[in-house]
Each structure stands twice: as C-alpha cells, then as structure tokens.
Chains A and B, each alone.
Chain A
Amino acid sequence: MRESARESRDPQLSPWVLDTLRAPVVSAASSRSAIMDRVRCESAPRRLRAPMRASRWSRRGLLSPFGGMAVLAMLVVLVSVRRLDQRHVGSLIETSAIILGDSVVPLQDVDFGGLRSGNARTADVSGEAAARRDSVVARLGGRLLDTLRVVEFVLRGPAVRSASVVGDFNAWRRGVTMLAHDSGDTWRARVLVPRDALRFAYVVNDAQWISAAGLR
C-alpha cells in the first residue's frame, strides 16, 4: 500500500500521452510464427543446476546428520594428519645452543626495567626505568659496563620454513629473534643474552614449539 501510494505521486502525463504509450502496436501477422519457427530449430533447453553453497544445503535441510558427521570426521582426520606431520618434523629437528663467550657493553644499552639482549630488542624502556637508568649513569659518570653472553642458537632439520628463538631474554615473544637460514638444513642466530636469562625454546614454522635444555 505504501509503495502504491508513493508510486501514485509519479509525475503526471497527459491522458493522451499515456493512452498512446499503452496502445497496442500492430505487429506483422507472421511474427509469432516466425519466432516459433526459430525456436523449433533450437536445441531443447535444460534446467541449470548450479552447485549450492554449504549454507544453502544446510538451510534446505539437505545436510543430514550423517552428512554432518562425515564432514566432521573428515575435519578431525585432517587436523590429526597435520599434527602427526608436525610431530614428525619435530622429531627430525636437532637443536643446540653454544655459549661462545662474554661481551661487555655500556650500561646505556641495558634495560633496567626488564631484560634485554644486544641483538634482540624487547619492550621499550618505560619512562620510569629510563629515568632510573639516567640517574645511575649520571652518578657513575657513564663508566658502568655490563657483561652479556654471546650465545649461538643453531637448529637443524628438514621442512623448516622459518625458525625463531624465544626465551627470558626477549620476553618469550615470537618473531623477535629470528634464526637466519645458513646452509642446507641449518638455521643459526647469534644473540647477546643476560647471564640470568637461562630458559629458551625454538619456534618452527610459526606454529611448533620445540623446548630445549636451558643455558648453563
């Protein structure tokens, strides 16, 4: 009703214009038979059946409980295979962490608010920690030094697309300390690690965590 009321507000045309527009047009006598002649020459049309999306199958009730269980079982199998594959990859990977030596760095590079390595920058220094550091540095004349250990993290294994190392020294954040592809199956990174940061692990292919013995 509302639609018809709105449409009744159409601009008005003269009655003769409307009559002329709606008047039948004389057609050739043979036009309809010509259409049917052409139609008879065409091949018979067939009803098209486009593939339906899963939501439409479900809405129409065509996704039966059995079908749903089958789909669920397939998903479970896929997930299991993926996990087994990851375990398989994990079993083939060898890791090692070699302490190469000590390194002395100026105190300004050390974060007093939290642990921080030379290569792996972690969280930004907070305002309070920065003030504390500045006051200590000023008191000691900028001569305070700190000793960090140079640790080489090495990972060897097939099917590794990316590798990173996480630990106390980078607040266990993935993607901060990436291992570089060295040669063949070897991935390597040298990191300055504080003496009290002992625990670490590897993350392979952004998904799989491989724990390792801590640093001694």
Chain B
Amino acid sequence: MERPERPTETVTETVTDAQIVRRVLMGEIEAFALLVDRHHARSLRVATHLLGDGDDAEDAVQEAFVRAYRHLGSYRERDRFGSWLSRIVVNQCRSMAAKHRRFVGPGDSATAETALQYDDDADALERAARRQELALALSKLGPAQREALVLRFSDELSYDEMAHVTGVGVSALKMRVQRACAQLRALLSEHLHA
C-alpha cells in the first residue's frame, strides 16, 4: 500500500523524495542532504532499537545512507523512498549484528546513558530509566521478533511495507509481532515484579 510522502517542516516540504532523488541523479549532490535531514532521525531510532548501541547505530545509519547514495540509480520512483532506505538500514543492522555476533548485550545501555547526558530533570531521569528497561527487554527478544516489533511500532510501518523491507510474508510478520508483544509484556512485568 502506497503511503504519501511525509511532509517536512522546511521550505522543501512540497518537494517529494522522488523529486530530490531525480535532482541528485542529475548531478546536484547537495540535494542529498535534504534526504538525510528527512530520514536520519527515523533511521537512527530504528537502528538504535535494533542494535541497542548508540555508536553502532550511528555507524550503521551512516553506512546505510552512503550505500543508498551509491545505489541511488537503482531506486524506482514507484517505491517509497523511506521504505527503500529502511530496507538498507535493516540490512546494514543485520550485517553489523552478524559481524559483532550480537544485537543487544544486557549490559549495553548506551541509549539510556546518552539520554542521561543530556537530560537532568526528574522526568528525564524516569524516561531514561524506562528506556533502559525497554532496551534490556528488547535485548532478550530474538532478532527476528525484535526486528518485526521495532519496524511495526517504532518505525510505524504497515505490514505490507514491513514485508517489502524484510522480505518476509505478511502473515509471518503478524505472528512475529504478536509473539514479540506477548514476550515483551512478560519480560517487562517480570522486571517490574523483580
């Protein structure tokens, strides 16, 4: 299912991703910065939840954008650029996880630590604690289940888009999301009781 391009907050809000890609392909390299501005935060959020490590996520997103630029010629305008980029980001995270032989280590709390560096009020501390708690629970999910859950609830993709990104069937993805949610609820309640 096609979704309209997401609006942006700048002057370039009327320019679609496909038009920017066309400009880049015509030689206007600096136009690629617009795509980076639009999709960097979302890609970084997904990569952080998938890898559980802020530095690794930064590296994965950077590499994904460079690869996207390198293969921009193979991007087809009938596809949504966001989905196409998500696929690259997810593949990059998979490669990085395979390289490091881990997705999230139980002791990796860089996300929370990063947040703690910037926020110092009580609410922020609570948010950081919850983030850490969620990262710990996510680390105990299997890679496939975590990927499905993150794409569904963090990236807010439809199941069709998730299928396009992951290469897995829609019904299998629904099952994965269902199981991941049940397991996550159990892990979080366990943690609270503990």
Contact = CB atoms under 8 A, between A and B. Distances in A.
B54 interface: yes
B29 A44 contact: yes
**Counting chain B CB atoms within 10 Å of each CB, which of A28, A31, A48 scores highest?**
A31
Interface in B93-128: 111, 114-115, 118, 127
B74 A48 contact: yes
Contact of B65 (A3, A27, A39, A44): A39
B154 A21 contact: yes
Interface stretch (A8-16, A113-121, A150-158): A8-16
B41 A11 contact: no
B156 interface: yes
B164 interface: no
A57 B148 CA distance: 38
B40 A46 contact: no
B27 interface: yes
Contacts of B61: 31, 35
A3 B2 CA distance: 12
Interface in B27-56: 27, 29-30, 32-33, 36-37, 40-41, 44-45, 48-49, 54
B25 A40 contact: no
Interface stretch (B11-19, B81-89, B182-190): B182-190
B80 interface: no
Interface string A37-71: 01110101111100000000000000000000000
A14 B188 contact: yes
A7 interface: yes
B127 A7 contact: no
Nearest to A17: B134
B89 to A, nearest CB: 13
A27 B24 contact: no
A36 interface: yes
B74 to A, nearest CB: 5
Contacts of B54: 25
Contacts of B70: 42, 45
A101 interface: no
Contact of A48 (B24, B32, B57, B73): B73
Contacts of A11: 177-178, 181-182
Contact of B36 (A3, A17, A32, A45): A32
Contacts of A127: none
Contact of A7 (B40, B65, B158, B188): B158
A216 interface: no
**Counting chain A CB atoms within 10 Å of each CB, which of B1, B130, B156 scores highest?**
B130
A10 B180 CA distance: 11
A66 B127 CA distance: 70
Contacts of B65: 35, 39
**8 cross-chain pairs, A with B, having the tightest CB-CB distances, nearest first:** A11-B181, A45-B72, A21-B154, A48-B73, A47-B73, A35-B65, A25-B48, A45-B73
Interface of B: 1, 24-25, 27, 29-30, 32-33, 36-37, 40-41, 44-45, 48-49, 54, 57-58, 61-62, 65-66, 69-74, 111, 114-115, 118, 127, 130-131, 134, 150, 152-154, 156, 158-160, 177-178, 181-182, 184-185, 188
Interface of A: 3, 7, 10-14, 16-18, 20-28, 31-32, 34-36, 38-40, 42, 44-48
17 contacts: A11-B182, A14-B185, A14-B188, A17-B153, A18-B153, A21-B153, A21-B154, A23-B131, A25-B54, A27-B41, A28-B58, A31-B44, A31-B61, A32-B36, A36-B36, A39-B32, A45-B72
